[in-house]
Amino acid sequence: MWENATILVTGATGSFGKKFLKVLLAEHNPKAVRCFSRDELKQSELAEMFKGEERLRLQIGDIRDRDRLMRATRGVDVLVHAAAMKQVPASEYNPFEAVKTNVIGGENIVEAALANEIPKIISLSTDKAVNPVNLYGATKLCMEKLLIQGNSYAADSPSRFSVVRYGNVVGSRGSIVPIFLRQRDTGVVTITDERMTRFWITLEQGVRFVMSCAERMEGGEIFIPKIPSMKVTDIAEAIAPDAKREIIGIRPGEKLHEVMLTEDDSRHAGEFDDHYEIYPEYHWWTPKTTQPATPVEDGFRYSSDGNTHWMTPQDLRDLLPKIEEDFHVAG
């Protein structure tokens, strides 16, 4: 589906977007890749990173601007929606801005995709959208609902919408790994709560999972990868084993554990070898026939503390060189 296709990536100058471009251009031959983002400095840095790459189209724009998005999506075959306001504290302090980007921006994606009859639209979500306790999670939950329900607006249109929901990206900006790396030299690392667990996925795993989901999607699915959990204390042990640990208390809008599939989701979810799929409970949804799933047991809950797959301190140490390469964090 990627060969000779015109692909639009929103948020293309972010960590996911840049990694997606590297994998896509190295392993496939798209006709053109439109890199849509609002930051002209990051666009110029992206141009330098892919200097000489003639398949890239650098487009300045904001997903809040429906008219600009309408123009950018003309003739597109695949839309990967990765643009978002994703920092929890920033979203709490600037709630109207988070809603404009994550919710209204999501609506604009649906409207533009339908208007220009884009066949495949896949959007990135987060485990924080499940039972949200902060505004960021709430806006991403709204985005999920808008994208999935977009299929009911498609009618006889070829457009189909799906969502990928995964956990924390190891080493991403604002995450605990770069914070611990910076704190290590001080001899003290700050831990909010020693009981805390999180789902973890590498940037490349996230990109490849999104690409595989885009290839298999039929519209309406929420895809959830099977990924390991890790205790915050094990992260500290991996990065700064000799540092003193200071307990500072859980922050506003933060959970002890994350959930990616709830007991209610389990009633209409399927399991595959490497992922789960949540299917919509609407009259327009037709169950899959070509890729049958194993029904998830009623009452099943996929949570970071109840996971059967755990990342060890040594696993994280082995990943640090790759994290430094992807995010330019000091190891």
Catalytic residues: 128
- Smallest CA-to-CA distance from 221 within 294, 282, 161 is with 161
Cβ 165 vs Cβ 222: under 8 Å: yes
- Judged on CB neighbours under 10 Å (0-12, 13-18, 19+), 247 is exposed
Contact by Cβ (8 Å): 328, 172: no
What is the distance, to the nearest Å, from the Cα of residue 47 to the centroid of all Cα atoms in its chain?
23
Q: Give residues with Cβ within 8 angstroms of 109, minimum separation 6.
A: 10, 63, 69, 79, 81, 121, 123, 147
Residue 139: burial class (beta carbons within 10 Å; 0-12, 13-18, 19+): buried
Task: Determine the length of the chain.
Answer: 331
Cα radius of gyration (the chain): 20
Orientation of helix 203-216 relative to helix 313-327, angle to 10°: 80
Helix (H) or strand (E) holding 24: helix 15-27
Q: Which of 82, 116, 115, 119 is nearest to 1 (CA)?
A: 119
